[in-house]
Each structure stands twice: as structure tokens, then as C-alpha cells.
A and B are shown apart, each in its own frame.
Chain A
Amino acid sequence: MKDDYLWDKSGQPDPEIQKLEEILGTLRYQPKPLELPEDLPVSRRRNYFPLLAIAASLLLALVAAGIWLRVRNQSAPQPDQAKVSTPSPVEKKPPERISPTPVAPKDVIAVNNKHRHKPVAPALSKREREEALAAKEQLMIALRLTTEKLSLIHRKTQNTTPANQIKNQHRVG
């Protein structure tokens, strides 16, 4: 007897096998389209959890960075305090006189304090910022002195007689 029927349904079938087929055939797969019940609840909600987690992480990082920058700026010592503590012979003189030291005088520092509290470019290090502040003060003094002198010269040119005033626009070099 050949077993081809069992293999590919060819050849002579065994009646016992056929009987079994009939019995089990009721349970055979019957292809039919999927039928969903009418009252099945359909949920359109997406899972936003990963997006929310990313957004929360970013927000947390931003807040942390902001706090860190604020603390860093606040913890930096004010350079004007160091300057004020520097002993200067000018302090004994009347306040309207200028400082004999090359650095900005005390009264200049007091007036310029409004500039100190402004936010400073974070690109500068602490030492550089102190240096820059001193340079700024010196620069303001220099510009003030220059404009004063130019103004003085202007007044003199206005007041002097033609005999005293010597040829402007005179090429030296």
C-alpha cells in the first residue's frame, strides 16, 4: 500500500482515513471576511508619552542651564569692590580733583557703578572682565579728557584774535 494519499491525496485512499477526514472536516478552516461587531469601541488615542518625556527633558535641561548661568554670574566677585579697596593717595584729596594714579579714581567708580550691574558678555572670563571694566573706565576718562581739551581748543580758537591764531590746516610733515 502506498501512502501517497496521505502525502498529496493521490492514489487509493484508506477508508479509515476517509472516515477520519469526514469527522474532522467539520472543523476545517473556512475562509470568510473579517466581521467586526458594530458596537466595538474604536480608540483613536495616540501614545504621546515619548514626546512628552523628550519635551520634559529639554525643559529641565533649559531650566538647569538658566539656573547655572544665574548662579555663575552672581557668584562672580564685583571688580569695583577690589578697586575701591586699593589704597590710593587721591582718597585724601578733595573729591573734585582727579586721581594721581593711572587707574580710575574713586569718584569715577562710584558714578560708573550703574554700568557694572549690567549683564556682561559671558564670553569674557572673570579676569578678562575685570580687565575690560578697568579698560572701559580708562577709556571713558580718556574720551572725556579728549572732548574737554578739544572743546577748550575750540573755545580758544573762537576767542583768540587773528594775530594769536596761527594758520590752521598747516602741513607739518
Chain B
Amino acid sequence: MKALSRIKLTMPLMLLIALPFVVKAQDPRLQLSSLDHLAGKANETVDVNIDERLMKMAAKLFSDKDADEREVKKLIEGLKGVYVKSFEFDSEGQYTAADVETIRSQLRRPGWTRMVNVMSKKDGNCEVYLLFNGDQIGGLAVLVAEDKELTVVNIVGPVDLDKLAQLEGQLGVPELGIEKTKKNNEK
């Protein structure tokens, strides 16, 4: 009888302790800091860290009059963060499978669903993951691991994939040269 009451007392306590781990398991934010050491080896690095606060501030600067900016504004409404790490190397073998695994292991957590996985010996691997909160998308992750390039994109929040697809070629951002460089190297 005494043991039963003790269990009754400890159960809520254990649930309270376990709660952060459960929440962590469904965290749409990926920890990308494990890739930071690659910046020293990379020829080119893109590192974007925009949290919810910055997202809201940036959203204020998008004009409603400009069609492109209006589209971007609509897309980022409700997003809680955008995190990107992209490394481009001069030569192959600058990053290891373990580096990719640190990201992929996070994407094996409950909630994440791999939507696309393209494996190619020639071009490397490309994966797209979505985090579902019920029927709604709670996050997006894109992992591109090529011979001379490693890119991880993590968008936290309800991503509208249709709107994202519509933005292609409409953003007023100049070419970053990633694809261009790659094509030149292939030549």
C-alpha cells in the first residue's frame, strides 16, 4: 500500500522530468553547430541564423507594394526561424560521413518524415525532410551532400511549400554562384 502511494507520487514527477525530452524530440530546430569546423576548410560558406525575433523584424521591412516582397512576406509569416549552413570546398573529401550523420541523426527523431531522398554516386545525396505536427507542417529540412559541397537548410515553423516553390526565380537576390561554380567545375 505504501509502495503504491509512493509510485503515485513519483509518477507525475517522472513525467515532469521526461517532458523536456519529449518536447526536444519534436523540436523542429536542428543543431547545426557541429558543422562549424568545416568553415575553416571551405572555400565559400553561407551561414544564416534568423530566429523568430529577427524574422518578425525583417518582416516589417518587406513592402506590400512590391509583388516579390509581398510573396516573401506571406511565406515568412508564422515562421519561427531560418537556419542555413552551406559549405563549398575546393576539393573532395573535406567533410566526413560523420559530419552528415550529426544532422541526419536529428532528422530520425519522431515527427520528421523524409519526403525525398536522391542518392547518386556521381552527384551525392539530396534529402528533403518535413516535420509534421498533426496535419500541419512544423518544419522543413534540406540536406544536400555533394562531393565538394555540403548544405543544410532548416526552416522552423509552418512552411508553405507551394509558396516556396513559387518564389523560385522571383527573389530579388543576385545569383550566389553556387550552381554556376559547380557547372564551371564540371566543364
Q: Report which A residues bind B (CB closer than 8 A).
A: 96-102, 107-108, 111-112, 114-115, 118, 120-121, 123-124, 128-129, 131-133, 135-136, 138-153, 156-157, 160, 164-173
Distance, CA A173 to CA B47, complexed state (A): 27
Instruction: List chain B residues, Cβ under 8 A from A101.
Output: 45
A139 B58 Cβ-Cβ under 8 A: yes
A-B contact count (CB 8 A): 185
B27-70 CB contacts (< 8 Å) to partner A: 39, 42-50, 54-55, 57-58, 60-63, 69
B142 A139 Cβ-Cβ under 8 A: no
Distance, CA A146 to CA B48, complexed state (A): 12
A156 B120 Cβ-Cβ under 8 A: yes
Interface residues on B, range: 35 or more
Tell whether B13 is near chain A: CB-to-CB under 8 Å: no
Instruction: List chain A residues, Cβ under 8 A from B169.
Output: 147
**Residue of chain B at shortest CB distance from A103:** B47
Chain A nearest CB: distance from B73 CB in Å? Answer: 10
Distance, CA A147 to CA B174, complexed state (A): 13
Q: Report which B residues bind A (CB closer than 8 A).
A: 39, 42-50, 54-55, 57-58, 60-63, 69, 72, 75-76, 82-84, 86, 88, 107-120, 123, 126, 128-129, 140, 142, 144, 151, 153, 155, 164-165, 167-169, 171-181
Distance, CA A108 to CA B46, complexed state (A): 13
Chain B nearest CB: distance from A161 CB in Å? Answer: 10
Instruction: List chain B residues, Cβ under 8 A from A123.
Output: 60
A114 B172 Cβ-Cβ under 8 A: yes
B57 A151 Cβ-Cβ under 8 A: no
Label chain A's interface by main secondary structure.
helix
Chain B nearest CB: distance from A83 CB in Å? Answer: 15
A145 B176 Cβ-Cβ under 8 A: yes
Chain A nearest CB: distance from B104 CB in Å? Answer: 9
A146 B112 Cβ-Cβ under 8 A: no
Query: A166 is contacted by which of B63, B110, B119, B178 (Cβ under 8 Å)?
Result: B119
Give the residue among A129, A143, A167 with the most B Cβ atoms within 10 A: A143
B84 A140 Cβ-Cβ under 8 A: no
Chain A nearest CB: distance from B170 CB in Å? Answer: 9
A136 B62 Cβ-Cβ under 8 A: yes
Give the residue among B58, B111, B129, B144 with the most A Cβ atoms within 10 A: B58
Given A147-B164, A170-B117, A172-B108, also A98-B142 (CB < 8 A): no
A147 B175 Cβ-Cβ under 8 A: no
